[in-house]
Chains A and B, each alone.
Chain A
Amino acid sequence: MSRVAGRTDWAEEEDEDSIQLPQQSITKNKDGTETIVTYSIREDGKKIKTTRRIKKTTVKTIVNPRVAERKHVPKFGQEKGKPLGPQTDTTSVAENIVFRPVANWKASADDKGEDAKKKASLKDAKIKCRICSGDHWTTKCPFKDTMAPEGGEPAEIKDEAPETGGLGAGGSSYVPPHLRGRGGAGEKMGGKFERDDLATLRVTNVSEFAEENDLRDMFSRFGHVTRVFLAKDRETGRAKGFAFVSYADRSDAAKACEKMDGYGFGHLILRVEFAKKSTT
């Protein structure tokens, strides 16, 4: 055993520690308070001196003797035999409620609600000026007349200005209808169909028990499928026998068209072709 000489027992070891610590001292101050100084050793072995100043007051409340008496009446009913003090199953403390009566409560409550909301939303939002990145609104920027918004190059705006026929120098994203799409074909109604038609396959002779997911599984082998539409009977909920499958890429669609045409699905043979442009 590797014991240090003099230390024979763990109990003695303890004793030695406490002997090293000064006794706690209590001094009575003139103003009626007490100062208590205690010493202790922290877990990491450092000595701590704690000084506490305490004022003792005796609070006397006079209660009705009947009330005092009732406190010692044994409990009865469901509470019979239960110890003194509130039971956790029947009594709990709710969250704190601030109740502060105010004159003209209604008006103040309404105002406060609005104000608080506005303030809260302002607090959350980080204000950043688009011109100088300062913490104020762009419209209130001191440089708004002399500097362009951050990111936009002034030169570019210059180029653009004559072309767009007096488009605001502020780089507004609004373009009047008659100026839109210059140089290309005009924007068409139902642009959605066009996009779809480029890489959309029409699948016919689909089993009436087919599900959209079955089709999606089969067709996603050839590429990223963006949309599967399986025509269903409104009343019976069964497939009507045709479907549309859209791909993100037209080459995938072409590959799928080639491979899947004549593929056996269910008890039928699928017919796959590129969807024709809608007649409208």
Chain B
Amino acid sequence: MRPILLSGHERALTQVKYNPDGDLIFSVSKDHVVCAWFSHNGERFGTYHGHQGALWTVDVDPHSKLLATGGADNTMRLWEVDTGKLLKTWEFGSSIKRVEFSPDGTQLLGVTEKRAGHLSTIVVYEINPDPAAEQTSEQSLRIVCDESKATVAGFSYLARYIIAGHEDGSVSQYDAKDGELIYNVRAHDADLQVTDLQWAPDRTYCITSSKDKTAKIIDAGTLEVLKTYVTDTPLNSAAITPIKDYVILGGGQAAMDVTTTSARQGKFEARFYHKIFQEEIGRVRGHFGPLNYVAVHPQGTGYCSGGEDGYVRVHHFDKAYFDFLYEVEREQAQANL
């Protein structure tokens, strides 16, 4: 496995995302610029300019036409993927920590930061999937998180629920139609924030990662914790791989402690766990800072990670990755033949 190193950013990466076709990677960092890359060879497709502050989040719609970003300049922006044209800017009272399109691309949610005078909210906009169309400024839904601020959020299957992770380690489920809180579950350790929430391909369950050094698979309908992956380092991101039953966890020493630790101690590795057996099966090193985000190719042929060191590393999996089976899996495959 020879990773491709993308060095287009000057500061720490905050999020990387594949588009649903898997041919593009979008990366955002604290340097105000959004980059689009071809995933197969690492060629930079283009850059999106306009944000005035650090960027926290990016998402692309299912048709790879629209790109949403949010950042510390208190704006959420919509771009045309193919040209880099800015289509729409929504302004808020505080920074945007997370954006995500609904599975059909007609809704866009944004999570706003809590700040003096502003409570943390989850806002939803109706989106017209046509890049040429005018986009609405009117929020179709606004959920106020008064108990603990939301850090991450996403749409479940059929955009039925909004699942949000909170600063206090809890995960809550809202009705995506009326914004009503249905469940709130203390999934992670208290006062250790949920750092990431990514979906399985069918969006019936998601994986959350937390600073409490664990990642958990949570059912979208019942918020039941299905699987727990225990590591020895605070986690920043977790992803579920299609095709193979693995999860990839990324993290490492907190960014502020990095200079005092060596790369080995810092545990800046992507960790692979078996999704079912909850057991670590391998690690991929390479970054010399904590991993801020890991994203998996939608067809499961590779993954990329964005690190605090300012690099995106794109990996295409080897045969060994696809061939690996547990003994019981192999026996079952034999029996079925």
Interface residues, chain A, with chain B CB atoms under 8 Å away: 63-64, 66-67, 70-71, 73, 75-80, 84-87, 89-106
Interface centre among A63, A67, A80, A85 (most CB of B within 10 A): A67
Q: Which residues of A contact B327 (CB under 8 A)?
A: 103
| Contact call A76/B84, Cβ cutoff below 8 A | yes
| Contact call A99/B284, Cβ cutoff below 8 A | yes
Interface residue SS majority, chain A: loop
| Contact call A64/B21, Cβ cutoff below 8 A | yes
Q: Which residues of B contact A76 (CB under 8 A)?
A: 45-47, 82-84
Q: Which residues of B contact A63 (CB under 8 A)?
A: 23
| Across the A-B interface, the 8 shortest Cβ-Cβ residue pairs | A77-B47, A76-B46, A101-B324, A91-B42, A76-B84, A101-B281, A86-B43, A77-B46
| Contact call A91/B7, Cβ cutoff below 8 A | yes
Q: Which residues of A contact B42 (CB under 8 A)?
A: 86, 90-93
**CB nearest to B39 among chain A residues:** A67
Q: Mark B80-107, 1 if CB is under 8 A from A, else 0.
A: 0011100000000000000000000000
The number of inter-chain residue pairs (CB within 8 angstroms) is 125
| Contact call A79/B64, Cβ cutoff below 8 A | no
Cross-chain contact of A102 among B6, B21, B282 (Cβ < 8 A): B282
> Nearest Cβ distance between residue B330 and chain A, in whole angstroms?
11
Asked if B161 is at the interface (CB within 8 A of a chain A CB), the reply is: no
**CB nearest to A106 among chain B residues:** B280
Interface centre among A71, A91, A95 (most CB of B within 10 A): A91
> Nearest Cβ distance between residue B4 and chain A, in whole angstroms?
6
A95 to B280, alpha carbons, bound, how many Å?
24
| Contact call B43/A103, Cβ cutoff below 8 A | no
Q: Which residues of B contact A87 (CB under 8 A)?
A: 43-44
A75 to B44, alpha carbons, bound, how many Å?
8
| Contact call B47/A79, Cβ cutoff below 8 A | yes
A92 to B43, alpha carbons, bound, how many Å?
9
Q: Which residues of A contact B48 (CB under 8 A)?
A: 77
A78 to B48, alpha carbons, bound, how many Å?
8
> Nearest Cβ distance between residue B18 and chain A, in whole angstroms?
12
Interface centre among A67, A76, A78 (most CB of B within 10 A): A76
Q: Which residues of B contact A78 (CB under 8 A)?
A: 8, 33, 44, 46-47
A159 to B255, alpha carbons, bound, how many Å?
70
Interface centre among A73, A87, A101, A105 (most CB of B within 10 A): A101
